[in-house]
Amino acid sequence: MTPTYTRKDFTSDQDVRWCPGCGDYSILAQIQRVLPDIGKPRHEIAFVSGIGCSSRLPYYMNTYGFHTIHGRAPAIATGLKSVNPNLSVWVVTGDGDGLSIGGNHLLHVMRRNVDLNIILFNNQIYGLTKGQYSPTSEFGKQTKSSPVGNIDHPIRPIGVALAAEASFVARTMDRDTKHLQQTLLAAAAHKGTSFVEVYQNCNIFNDGAFFPLTEKATKADNTVVLEHGKPLIFGKEREKGIRLNGLTPEVVKLSEVDESELLVHDAERADPVLAMLLDRMTHPQFPVPLGVFRRVERPCYEQLMQGQVDRERKRKTPDLAQVFRRGNTWEVTKRS
Amino acid sequence: MTPTYTRKDFTSDQDVRWCPGCGDYSILAQIQRVLPDIGKPRHEIAFVSGIGCSSRLPYYMNTYGFHTIHGRAPAIATGLKSVNPNLSVWVVTGDGDGLSIGGNHLLHVMRRNVDLNIILFNNQIYGLTKGQYSPTSEFGKQTKSSPVGNIDHPIRPIGVALAAEASFVARTMDRDTKHLQQTLLAAAAHKGTSFVEVYQNCNIFNDGAFFPLTEKATKADNTVVLEHGKPLIFGKEREKGIRLNGLTPEVVKLSEVDESELLVHDAERADPVLAMLLDRMTHPQFPVPLGVFRRVERPCYEQLMQGQVDRERKRKTPDLAQVFRRGNTWEVTKRS
Amino acid sequence: MTTASSTTTKSGDKRELDRVTIRFAGDSGDGMQLVGSHFTTTSAVIGNDVQTLPDFPAEIRAPAGSLPGVSAFQISFAAEDIFTPGDRPDVLVAMNPAALKANLSELPRGATIIVNDDEFNKANLKKAAYEENPLDTDALDGFTVHRVPITSMTTRALEDSDLTAQQKARCKNFFALGLMYWLFDRPLDSTLDMINEKFATRATLREANVAVLKAGHAYGETTEMFHETFHVPPAELEPGLYRNITGNAATALGFLAASQQAGTPLFYGSYPITPASDVLHELARFKNFGVKTFQAEDEISAVCATVGAAWGGALALTGTSGPGLALKGEAVGMAVMVELPMVIINVQRGGPSTGLPTKTEQADLLQAIYGRNGESPLCIVAPCTPSDCFTMAIEAFRIAVKHMTPVIYLSDGYLGNGAEPWKIPDVASLPAIKVAYATQPGEGEEFLPYKRDEWLARPWAIPGTEGLEHRIGTLEKQDLTGNVSYDPANHQHMTDLRAAKIERIADDIPPLEAFGGDSGELAVVGWGGTYGALRSAVTRAQRRGAKVSHIHLRHLNPMPKNTGELLSRFDKVLVAELNCGQLRALLRAKFLIDCAGLNKVAGQPFRVSEVEAKIDELCAGEKN
Amino acid sequence: MTTASSTTTKSGDKRELDRVTIRFAGDSGDGMQLVGSHFTTTSAVIGNDVQTLPDFPAEIRAPAGSLPGVSAFQISFAAEDIFTPGDRPDVLVAMNPAALKANLSELPRGATIIVNDDEFNKANLKKAAYEENPLDTDALDGFTVHRVPITSMTTRALEDSDLTAQQKARCKNFFALGLMYWLFDRPLDSTLDMINEKFATRATLREANVAVLKAGHAYGETTEMFHETFHVPPAELEPGLYRNITGNAATALGFLAASQQAGTPLFYGSYPITPASDVLHELARFKNFGVKTFQAEDEISAVCATVGAAWGGALALTGTSGPGLALKGEAVGMAVMVELPMVIINVQRGGPSTGLPTKTEQADLLQAIYGRNGESPLCIVAPCTPSDCFTMAIEAFRIAVKHMTPVIYLSDGYLGNGAEPWKIPDVASLPAIKVAYATQPGEGEEFLPYKRDEWLARPWAIPGTEGLEHRIGTLEKQDLTGNVSYDPANHQHMTDLRAAKIERIADDIPPLEAFGGDSGELAVVGWGGTYGALRSAVTRAQRRGAKVSHIHLRHLNPMPKNTGELLSRFDKVLVAELNCGQLRALLRAKFLIDCAGLNKVAGQPFRVSEVEAKIDELCAGEKN
Ligand SMILES: Cc1ncc(C[n+]2csc(CCOP(=O)(O)OP(=O)(O)O)c2C)c(N)n1
Ligand SMILES: Cc1ncc(C[n+]2csc(CCOP(=O)(O)OP(=O)(O)O)c2C)c(N)n1
Ligand code: SF4
Ligand code: SF4
Ligand SMILES: [Mg+2]
Ligand SMILES: [Mg+2]
């Protein structure tokens, strides 16, 4: 039986060392808030991170934790989960850690569908190294390493996850604590890789990157919350919706178009095409979708691995002495 | 003026060392055949490859060539193209080289849109290391390293390219020499990263992987050739077509459905959604699309880079002495 | 046959020999590795000591008949303990002109050459870049050449078979094998058994191979080409049950055994690479033992997953070859920092860079020691023979788990692909590996993840254990607690502790022994796969009266405690290795001993004669 | 003020000093680095020799007022040539309790402490884990403590300003700066100039900063807290135009200059990492010089793109710190194999693994030499002061291009972040770098990509050149042609050639010089950023009569030809380095000289006194 926890049970004795005002605080707090509800005893939870501001998170969690090296957390978590499928394993990464140096591991862990909860803190900047552009930074952005503008076309985290056919893909924001909590819980409940992109404000090196989406005044018009089976409606008065025109989404007014014409979200669609289409909706042309883009079931890597072990064990009794003797053997006797 | 070449001009003096019957021979031959037509003098062409059977190709080309290390050819080519944008740079890679160890470089080079022609030889196996499963190997495949079956969910090369928003994405096959030539020519003509997946038979370790698509008897029914602006029609008698039902493609008979209802290919659509949808069409449920999935224009990385240099040069005359003196300076004189 | 001490006694038309070395050479498609391994097993079964050396020329099949396409297999079999597959073959079987050309320079004058006469046609001669047929010129003067029409004899033997012409041609290696069996007085049974087993359900192939094998044997017996046959009597081997084993297979079995002895499942994270891939292939077949193999997307993922598995409490193993080890450097440093037990296999190959992937070399020793940022000490062991791969695999995990450290296990292509008879150990006699995970501390006690035992090892506290929740990481950590610490004195302290922990392993490994006197004129020092060549050369020199001993290191970091002292008892020290002097540099730096070097970087193992010559040069006074 | 040789003469109420060391310490948000650099410039401008040491505690801003949040900047200024930022500060400016606590142990007894009294409140004391206010206990006995209400004085000075309360509070560092200017008799002009420039368009901020700076200065003058002020007269520096420069900035300028001198555009491929990132930031600003910077997706991509750029004929540069160098190992091996010229910067930091990213260390020397598979020799240089970073950057490319080899340039965190006055060189006097790409061979001549010149360098033949189409690759290559070759003798030959090429560079670098006698009792040997500490310590020991010399290596592989010979002329050799003895191991292995070691791995540079103590220990006989 899992003990009844409170947030405090998940708070370690280490001082939290992020810049005051950093969005990471909220994400940490929501993680600590939802963990009591995932039904796992504390010692069966492990947090694995790479390197970056965000990746300091495991130090603050009173669970098992491993602050590893830059970009490699998905691989380390794969090893851990492979040898102990019973653990609830969380990967904490940043837009640089996860999509720059670690992009390939992320891709491969998702296609393998290792049962991990991957939380990518996207602040569109390298925080820890003091402000260079990241793979999600906007084109043209001036930073320390791009004084006359970034010439890299930004990457879409959700798009990469979908290309890898991740079985759970969602997006949420540091400032929407409720939605963040819901999303984390949904991720935890999902069997298979859960990929959650969290928009996170770095108030030191990229302040306000998501303000149009996160601030009260503009949020309702600039975001649309995806709910499985529900039409895409948004706006302060929920007066707008998204309709599909062929393969092209368009914003319509509910005063002009009937709700029944709206695009209805289907997170459980077998193929990721709808999710891919939604991922293309970007601010300011469209409201930015938040919530679960995709949630499908497919076998988890560690289960398949364990399954092969179990099956093989039944098929062939392990016998070391017999294995040693495989192939041709011969006896040497003492010569007279 | 570019000299008039023949295939022979692109043949180096090194003996080709692939297994007899390998699909690589055809790809090499088609490359050598089309190069005379790309309008570049031989010394302005460079082939860069990683490691793998396929990656031996540069040795056989009488151009500049560099057989580098495993998975890194896109990065090396990026450096080369950055410092000499005038070269025609070709990257030759395999499904292991490009999508396993090199997946991240591939992703990033495509999002940056470096003007390279990337040819990925997909034989769904590790050839050079003698037959382990690769990231494109089918689930359950038994190989040397998966004696009881591969448990990795395969990756779709085209899907990854589209997620990276590659500006030119195409697929062709070793055995269809005409289509292969056409596709290579189209790739060469495109400014920006051209990504071409080539189905290639490894007759030693994975013989026949693509036979349903490549062999005369079955090819017409199992593939559909994408042509910009044309409806998707296939079949031995061109008697079948693809129609969209919402976001879901379906195979229809032209005897039952009018051609006007068919999905019309639009390779130049701004967003990659249609291409992504097409990429989901897989054998045996669907005919496998061949041809150009996507071809859009966006600025190339090396041009943007050069552009910044040129603009900055105009803005600030380079003056080393002045740069040395930047910030506060002071004069020390001989003390009396 | 050229063995210095061979005693030859006529017994009927059989000549008795102490030792023979044969090389089978042909095209990559000719099945030379297969007949080589048949010959090996047969020779071992009748009691010879055996050593083998496969030689794959390149990674891909080159065009048939070309020089780069030549594949060879050398086997040495003897009536005495031998340590190498022989310097130069006494007999060469050349299946085509390219095979002859590629190997001729290796033959000592007087050697026997058996060629497949049928293949010395215009086309093949051209592919081998022969202007004239060497069989018709004086190119082979000084050798005993036998021209055997192997291809046509094979076809004839299969006249009645239903095989296709191509399939028939593929059988010709068995003709050569049968002929060699006759020539060297070996029974066919073992090969016949194997053919029957392999083709149990394919009668046509089975019958064809049997027919051709027998035809080859009969050819020897009936033609008058060979005037005598040879007999190599059984060697005086330690009694027991034997099998032939390659180093890579022994490595896999050793790690499997380590897992069984530890009662802890093995996790193997790897990315295919020549010549290490076979370890992955072998281990993937032991899922019934609980072995989990993870074919990663690259070497970095492979080592990182292995670190994760170590954290999770598995016997965590990763494996690769040269360039892969370079890629793993950063993550191995992580393992050093978090002090988790794991083993990193490196089957060394020719370098630098991609280098010579199928060739052997020992040039990764210093990479293993220093190939990471910062002061990052770890333990290094190196097996010295194919069989020893088994032993040292267990040793590697014994140390890793007891001392909570990553251990690099340095094999090489020569060991990995080479085979020798392995005395199958009794499972009950294998050393134990004690795994003791940390458990919940007593009431009022605090769990300290970086508190150390008498070996300076920290506890192995695995996720899932109640009450031990704690954080580890790659920033410098505070002593005892493991919390992040930027304190200068702590950093010095932890740096010292990490170094001392590795040094202390020296108290836990056997002292170094000298083969020969414990002091003398010359110590020949080696490590890894050169063991056989060095032991043979030293033995021969000793027989000639030289005061030379052989000292072979299997623990390279730390070294056995008596290393410096032992070496200092010799007038001269010669460090022989297949690199430019890496162990030599370590010994000079550590012990300030003026070691000489015998170094070779040619992708090939030492020849015994090369080592002997060097010994003679250094022991000039003692020369007989 | 504690300088041993300080001569103090009363001149009015000003005391004259030879040398003073000040440390500004406060919260990360307090702007200590900024005032430190102002003080540095001002001191330099009035002619002092200056050395500085910034000290960032951690990578992220820790909570305000906490111990891990303390940021410090130390500056030493003197009337004579100095080489280090001082062992221990004479004066500490502590902006809050945490700053006091974190730095107190560094202060010598008798030091002056100036605290911001306002911040010693309950909340801040708690954050610094002080139970009682140290200003009220005897904790500071033995120090001269001045309690200055800096925060409130700052606010008062800004009563009329339109700034927000928070903005006002942020100005308090300028109050401290003004006060220190008064105390050490420095003019305000240079800082006023800089304020005016920086806030040219923001009048409110400009006026506020000026007001507060002046208020601090006035506070010193009007209160009676300080009984005397101090004067440090100008040093006898080489005449010329100077500026202050950090090692990282000098590195960037050096490589920029190399590119100009070579007439070849610079390509810089890098991935951000502390403390190397500043080189990227600096170079990104020189696009007008044709510099192309490529921020790669990781270190592997960065180094690979750089290899591609080298192939394309650019001056190809990549840069990183410790863990990044580990990742680059495999690709650096590629550069060795294809013999292309490039430079790899490694700004070393504390290790192993992530280690202490903001701290300095010299523990990557052996990684630089050996951190790749196979025998993979390359050239290594190391600058020894921030200014020398400029010089050695040019030297690195001179060697790379002439000898067609990758060169590793080993800087460190101390050099990279530390600053010193740099005598601005005359552009016309910079050394030339000759770039000569291969051109089309004459009629009937064959182009051979691996044919070598007298330095054993192969031609630099870049794509785009007519008639030179050829293939390079990472498999072993045939001599001359560069084609793939599996031939054993060729592999040996090429291995030897690659090694000889690097060794031959020794003929192209200046001999090693000793500071002090060319022989004697003790040679103190160092490399890299420890130069200042070693030079100071040796100078002091020499003044006391010790027969000690300082020998500093800037070329580490190969070493200058006379290295062994020079060292052998000393009775004892001490190798002092910020690692566990890496150069020492090299010297012992190469020259069999029994070097002693002075080693420190604490993330901190040597203190001069530490080195002196060790010298004294070794020169016990000469002690005065
Ligand atoms: C191998 C390696 N390369 C580079 C670094 C330096 N580094 C640390 S964190 C980081 C990027 C951080 O960005 P992100 O992942 O977005 O995290 P954030 O700090 O923004 O949360 C970099 C480049 C490193 N620690 N290790
Ligand atoms: C760093 C490194 N890791 C592993 C290898 C071994 N290796 C060489 S090629 C290859 C995969 C080849 O597969 P693919 O890219 O599909 O090419 P193919 O041979 O099938 O054409 C591997 C794993 C290597 N050379 N270098
Ligand atoms: S730098 Fe940015 S991301 Fe990092 S802790 Fe500070 S505010 Fe947060
Ligand atoms: S192994 Fe396969 S891919 Fe490689 S050369 Fe042979 S047939 Fe071609
Ligand atoms: Mg970030
Ligand atoms: Mg492949």
Residue C252 confidence (pLDDT) above 50:
yes
Domain covering D243-429 assigned CATH 3.40.50.970 in the classification: yes
- Residue A67 Cα to ligand 1 midpoint, Å, equals 12
**Ligand 2 contact via B51 beta carbon (within 6 Å):** yes
Query: In the prediction, which pLDDT does B329 show?
Result: 86
Chains touching B (at least 3 CB pairs under 8 A) are: A, C, D
The DSSP symbol for C245 reads E
Beta bridge partners of B245: B248
**Band of pLDDT at residue D487, cut at 50, 70 and 90:** very high
Asked if pLDDT for residue A1 goes beyond 80, the answer is no
Highest mean pLDDT among C17-26, C124-133, D494-503: D494-503
Range list of β-strands (E), A188-311:
194-199, 223-226, 233-234, 240-245, 248-253, 288-295
pLDDT score, position C221:
87
On the question of pLDDT at C623 being above 50, the answer is no
Contact D62 A144 (CB under 8 A): no
Amino acid at B9: D
Among A242-256, C311-325, D8-22, D166-180, which is the least confidently predicted range? D8-22
Q: How many CB atoms lie within 10 A of CB C163?
A: 15
Least confident of A238-242, A301-305, C129-133, C265-269: C129-133
The alpha carbon dihedral of A75, A79, A80, A84 has a sign of positive
The three-class DSSP label of residue D422 is strand
**Record: contact A51-D295, CB cut-off 8 A:** no
Which residue, D356, D457, D452, D490, is CA-closest to D413? D356
pLDDT exceeds cutoff 80 at C1: no
Residue D166 CA to ligand 5 centre (angstroms): 27
Cα D78 to chain centroid, rounded: 20
Strands (E), A159-214: 168-173, 194-199
The minimum CA-CA distance between D374 and chain B, rounded to whole Å, is 14
Strands of B240-245's sheet, edge to edge? B233-234, B240-245, B248-253
- For domain D514-623, give its CATH number from 3.40.50.920, 3.40.1360.10, 3.40.50.970, 1.20.1250.20: 3.40.50.920
At C4, the pLDDT band (50, 70, 90 cuts) reads very low
C-alpha distances out from residue D199 to A144, D41, D176, D282, Å: 20, 18, 20, 22
Mean pLDDT, rounded, of chain C: 93
CA dist., res. C557 & res. C321, Å (int):
19
Q: Which of A28, A56, A201, A202 to mutate to test the pocket of ligand 3 (most atoms within 8 A of CB)?
A: A202
Nearest by CB: C60 against B53, B71, B147: B53
Rounded average pLDDT over A221-230: 98
The finding on whether A125 has its CB within 6 A of some atom of ligand 1 is yes
Ligand 3, pocket-test mutation among A51, A121, A123, A206, most atoms within 8 A of CB: A123
> Which percentage of chain B shows pLDDT scores above 70?
99
**Per-residue pLDDT band at D122 (split at 50, 70, 90):** very high
**Mean pLDDT calculated for residue range D436-464:** 95
Least confident of C3-7, C153-157, C268-272: C3-7
Q: D74 burial class (0-12, 13-18, 19+ CB within 10 angstroms)?
A: buried
Centre of ligand 6 from the C-alpha of residue D351, in Å: 38
In chain C, where are the structural domains located? Answer: 7-231, 243-429, 514-623
Among the residue ranges C14-18, C312-316, C567-571, D550-554, the one predicted with the least confidence is C14-18
Enter the pTM of the model: 0.94
Average pLDDT of every residue of chain D:
93
H-assigned helices in C467-553: 488-504, 531-543
Rounded to an integer, the average pLDDT of A218-229 is: 98
The pLDDT value given to residue C58: 61
| Residue D2 confidence (pLDDT) above 50 | no
Query: Letter for the amino acid at D154?
Result: T
Q: What is the pLDDT of residue B286?
A: 98
pLDDT for C60 equals 61
Strand partners, A199: A122, A173
pLDDT grade for D623, boundaries at 50, 70 and 90: very low
Asked if the model's pLDDT at residue C255 lies above 90, the reply is yes
Is 90 exceeded by the pLDDT of residue C68?
A: no
pLDDT of B336 over the 60 cut: no
Alpha-carbon gap, residue D145 to C31, rounded angstroms:
88
Query: What is the predicted pLDDT for the residue at C228?
Result: 80
pLDDT at residue C621 in the model: 56
Instruction: Please answer whether residues D58 and D349 qualify as being in contact, where contact means their C-beta atoms are separated by less than 8 angstroms.
Output: no
User: Residue D622: which region, alpha, beta or left (left: phi > 0; alpha: psi -120 to 50)?
Assistant: alpha
Which residue, D198, D98, C513, is CA-closest to B327?
A: D198
Question: What is the percent of chain A where pLDDT is above 70?
Answer: 99
User: CATH assignment of D7-231?
Assistant: 3.40.920.10
Q: Is A243 on the interface with B (CB under 8 A)?
A: no
pLDDT (mean) for D436-453: 93
Cα dihedral B176→B182→B184→B190 (10° resolution): -150
Take residue C332 and report the two structure tokens written for it: 């191995």
H helix count then E strand count, chain A: 11, 12
Positive or negative torsion for Cα A101, A103, A104, A110: positive
Q: How far is CA A129 from the centre of its chain?
A: 22
Give CA–CA dist D159/C441, Å, rounded.
59
Whole-complex ipTM: 0.95
Q: Express each pLDDT in C410-448 by its tens digit.
A: 999 999 999 889 999 999 999 999 999 999 988 888 999
Neighbours of ion ligand 6 (CB under 5 A): B 94-95, 123
Which position has the higher pLDDT, D190 or B242?
B242
Query: Could you tell me if D18 and D3 are in contact, meaning their C-beta atoms sit under 8 angstroms apart?
Result: yes
Which chain B residues are within 8 Å of A277, Cβ to Cβ? Answer: 247, 273
Q: Are D307 and B79 in contact (CB under 8 A)?
A: yes
pLDDT of res. C134: 95
* Rg over CA atoms, chain C: 27
pLDDT-based confidence at residue B1 (cuts at 50, 70, 90): low
Q: Among A19, A51, A144, select the one facing D354 at the smallest CB separation.
A: A51
What per-residue confidence (pLDDT) applies to B212? 96
Mean pLDDT of A22-27: 98
User: How far does the CA of residue C56 sit from the closest CA of chain B (Å)?
Assistant: 13
Sequence-separated (6 or more) residues with CB below 8 Å from residue A61 = A10, A11, A12, A28, A31, A32, A45, A47, C471
The token pair that represents C80 in the structure block: 């005495």
- The confidence score (pLDDT) of residue D275 equals 96
Which residues of chain B make contact with D485, given a CB cutoff of 8 A? none
Total residue length of chain C: 624
Q: What is the reported pLDDT for A256? A: 97
Can you give the residue ranges of every domain in chain B?
Answer: 7-209
Assess whether the C-beta atom of A127 lies below 6 angstroms from ligand 3: yes
Given an 8 Å threshold on Cβ–Cβ distance, is C326 in contact with D495?
no
Compute the distance between CA of residue C298 and CA of residue B99 in angstroms, rounded to an integer: 10
pLDDT for the residue numbered D28: 85
Which residues of C are less than 8 Å from B146 in CB distance? 284, 295
Give yes or no on whether C7-231 and C514-623 have one common fold.
Answer: no
Query: Do the Cβ atoms of D168 and D87 come closer than 8 Å?
Result: no
Between CA B237 and CA B246, with CA B241 as vertex, the angle to 5 degrees is 175
Which one of B64, B81, B89, B91 makes the best mutation probe of the D interface by having the most chain D beta carbons within 10 Å? B64
Section C600-620 average pLDDT? 95
- Regarding the domain delimited by A7-209, which CATH topology (the fold level of the hierarchy) does it fall under? Rossmann fold (3.40.50)
The set of chains that have 3 or more CB pairs under 8 A with A is B, C, D
Q: What are phi and psi of C547, to 5 degrees?
A: -90, 70
Residue B151 has pLDDT above 90, yes or no: yes
HSE at residue B280, side-chain half, CA atoms within 13 A, is 21
Whether A28 lines ligand 3, by a CB cut-off of 6 Å, is no
Residues β-bridged to residue B233: B241
Q: Above pLDDT 70, what percent of chain D?
A: 96
pLDDT of residue C234: 85
